[in-house]
C-alpha cells in the first residue's frame, strides 16, 4: 500500500518516505539449530505469557529462557511450561543476562510499556528477533528509535497488534478500499470496557518478597511501591503507560489508518477525564473523546470504562462511514450498513470462534524468522510505530488541554513547546535512552 510521508525521527525532525511494506528486505541468517526456534520471554505475567503459549503452538519452537523481575512469576511459568515441552528453561531476573545467550533466536517482550523501547533495542542489537507487545513504547521519541533499530539490525520485529492477522479484518479493509462505500468522511474507533471497575486507593507498602522493584521501575521515576501501580494496573498510570488510548487504541487505530492509507494527522484535539470514577486511584482518563484530522477525513476515538454500550451496540470496533454505506468491524466480525438505494447489500460476517487470531499472528512471526524476511510480517515495527505515535498524539492533546497541530516537515507540533516536550522520553534511575 502506497503510504504518505511520515515522521522517522521526531526528536530531530527527520522525515522520510515510507511504503506499506517494511524497508527491510533481508536479515542475518537464522541461528536456528536442528530446525528448531529457541525463544526467551521477558515479562511473563500477562500478555507475555499469552504470547508465549501461542507461539508454542508451533511444534518446532522451544522456550529456553524465562525472565521476570518477580520470582514467583518466574517459578510459576517454569512449572506451567512442563505442559508444553520436556526441556527446562533457564530463569533470569535480569533481561540483560538472558540476551547474552547466543543460543536464543528470538525474544518475546511482555513487560509494562515503559520498558518496551530499551528492551527491544537491546534485543535486536544482541542479534535477537523480537515479538514486542503493544503499544510499542510510551513516547513518540522511543517509537522512532525502535523503528531505526529494527532497520539498522535487519531483525524480524513483530508487534502484538494481532488484529492485523485476522482474515475478516482484511476482508473489511478490502470493502473499504474498493470504493463501494463512496467517499469516507469519518472513521470511528472505540473501546467501551464494562469489565473495568474503579481502582480502589491503597496505601504504599513494602516491596513483596522476590520482587526486584528497582528493575521493574527501570526508566520510570522512583516512587514507593504501591500495589495499584504493579501487575496489570500499571496501564492506568502515566509513568508506565497511556491508559486505554494506547492500550486498546493502538489495535483499532492500526486497522483504521491502514485501511485509510493514512499516517500522520494534521491536528488533534481531545476532551474527557476521570468523569465516571473521579476518586479512584488511576491517573489516565476513564472517559475520552479524541478527534484526529487527516487530509481528507476525520477519525474519532472514544473510550469509556465501566460500561459496554458503545457505538453500533458494540463494546469495541471501527466504523468506516461513507456516503453510500458504513462498514462496522470488530473482533466478532463485520457488518455493512447501506444508505438506502446507494449500494448493493453486502453480507455480514461472523468470526468463527474456533479460529484464534493471536495464534495466526505468532505463526506469522515464526514464518518470517524462518524466511529471514521482515516484509512477511503482518504488523511490522513500522505499523506498530504509526499506531502508537497517533495514540500518543491523542494523549498529548488531552494533557495539554488544547488542539495541537502537527508540522509534517519538522516532525513536531507547531508553535507548541509544551506539546513538543511530551514527545520526548525522560529516563531515570541511571538508565539512558537507547541509541539505534
Tell me how far apart the alpha carbons of residues 383 and 216 are, in angstroms, rounded to a whole number: 27
Angle at 46 between CA 45 and CA 47, to 5 degrees: 130
Q: For the residues 344-373, what does the mean pLDDT come to?
A: 97
- Cα separation of 66 and 303, whole Å? 34
Q: If residue 425 lies in a helix (H) or strand (E), which one and from where to where?
A: none
- pLDDT value of position 3: 39
Residues 270/160, Cβ–Cβ less than 8 Å: no
Ordered by where they begin, the domains of the chain are 6-164+357-382 (3.40.50.720), 166-353+391-416 (3.30.360.10)
Confidence of residue 29 (pLDDT cuts 50, 70, 90): very low
Give alpha helix (H) positions in 227-377.
243-247, 249-260, 357-371
Contact 320, 176 (CB under 8 A): yes
SS (H, E, C) 391-426: HHHHHHHHHHCCCEEEECCCCEECCCHHHHHCCCCC
Structure pTM?
Answer: 0.93
What mean pLDDT comes out for the span 57-68? 98
Mean pLDDT, the chain, whole residue set: 93
Q: Which residue has the cell 537507547?
A: 434
- Local confidence band at 33 (pLDDT 50, 70, 90 cut-offs): low
Give the mean pLDDT of 230-242.
96
Q: Going by C-beta distance under 8 Å and a sequence separation of 6 or more, which residues neighbour residue 429?
A: 214, 217, 218, 219, 220, 222
d(CA 428, CA 422): 16
Q: How many helices (H) does the chain have, and how many strands (E)? A: 12, 18
Residue 63 pLDDT level (bands cut at 50, 70, 90): very high
Q: Among 58, 84, 425, which Cα is nearest to 221's?
A: 425
Alpha carbons 145 and 215: distance in angstroms, whole number? 22
3-state secondary structure of 258: helix
Residues pairing with 40 in the sheet: 65, 107
Amino acid at each position: 500500500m502506497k503510504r504518505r510521508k511520515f515522521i522517522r525521527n521526531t526528536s530531530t525532525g527527520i522525515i522520510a518516505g515510507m511504503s506499506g511494506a517494511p524497508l527491510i528486505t533481508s536479515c542475518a541468517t537464522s541461528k536456528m539449530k536442528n530446525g528448531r526456534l529457541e525463544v526467551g520471554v521477558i515479562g511473563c505475567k500477562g500478555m507475555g505469557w499469552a504470547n508465549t503459549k501461542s507461539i508454542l503452538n508451533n511444534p518446532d519452537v522451544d522456550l529456553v529462557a524465562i525472565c521476570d523481575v518477580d520470582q514467583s512469576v518466574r517459578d510459576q511459568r517454569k512449572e506451567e511450561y512442563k505442559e508444553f515441552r520436556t526441556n527446562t528453561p533457564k530463569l533470569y531476573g535480569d533481561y540483560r543476562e538472558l540476551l547474552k545467550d547466543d543460543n536464543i533466536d528470538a525474544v518475546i517482550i511482555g513487560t509494562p510499556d515503559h520498558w518496551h523501547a530499551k528492551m527491544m533495542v537491546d534485543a535486536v542489537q544482541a542479534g535477537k528477533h523480537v515479538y514486542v507487545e503493544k503499544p510499542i513504547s510510551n513516547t513518540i521519541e522511543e517509537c522512532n528509535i525502535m523503528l531505526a533499530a529494527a532497520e539498522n539490525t535487519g531483525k524480524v520485529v513483530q508487534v502484538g497488534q494481532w488484529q492485523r492477522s485476522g482474515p475478516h479484518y482484511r476482508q473489511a479493509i478490502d470493502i473499504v478500499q474498493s470504493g463501494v462505500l463512496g467517499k469516507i468522511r469519518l472513521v470511528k474507533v472505540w473501546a467501551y470496557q464494562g469489565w473495568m471497575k474503579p481502582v480502589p486507593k491503597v496505601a504504599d507498602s513494602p516491596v513483596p518478597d522476590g520482587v526486584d522493584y528497582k528493575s521493574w521501575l527501570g526508566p520510570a521515576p522512583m516512587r514507593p511501591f504501591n500495589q495499584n501501580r504493579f501487575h496489570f494496573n500499571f496501564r492506568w498510570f502515566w509513568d508506565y503507560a497511556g491508559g486505554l488510548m494506547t492500550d486498546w487504541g493502538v489495535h483499532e487505530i492500526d486497522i483504521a489508518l491502514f485501511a485509510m492509507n493514512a499516517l500522520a494527522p494534521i491536528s488533534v484535539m481531545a476532551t474527557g477525564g476521570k468523569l465516571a470514577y473521579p476518586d479512584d486511584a488511576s491517573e489516565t482518563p476513564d472517559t475520552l473523546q479524541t478527534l484526529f484530522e487527516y487530509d481528507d477525513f476525520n477519525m474519532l476515538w472514544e473510550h469509556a470504562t465501566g460500561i459496554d454500550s458503545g457505538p453500533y451496540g458494540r463494546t469495541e470496533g471501527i466504523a468506516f462511514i461513507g456516503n453510500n454505506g458504513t462498514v462496522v468491524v470488530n473482533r466478532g466480525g463485520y457488518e455493512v450498513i447501506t444508505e438506502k438505494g446507494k449500494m448493493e447489500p453486502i453480507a455480514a460476517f461472523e468470526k468463527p470462534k474456533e479460529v484464534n487470531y493471536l495464534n495466526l499472528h505468532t505463526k506469522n512471526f515464526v514464518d518470517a524468522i524462518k524466511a529471514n524476511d521482515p516484509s512477511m510480517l503482518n504488523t511490522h515495527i513500522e505499523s506498530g510505530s504509526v499506531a502508537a505515535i497517533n495514540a500518543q498524539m491523542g494523549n498529548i492533546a488531552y494533557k495539554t488541554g488544547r488542539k495541537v497541530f502537527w508540522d509534517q516537515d519538522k516532525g513536531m507540533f507547531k508553535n507548541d513547546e509544551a506539546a513538543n516536550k511530551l514527545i520526548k522520553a525522560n529516563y531515570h534511575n541511571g538508565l539512558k535512552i537507547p541509541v539505534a
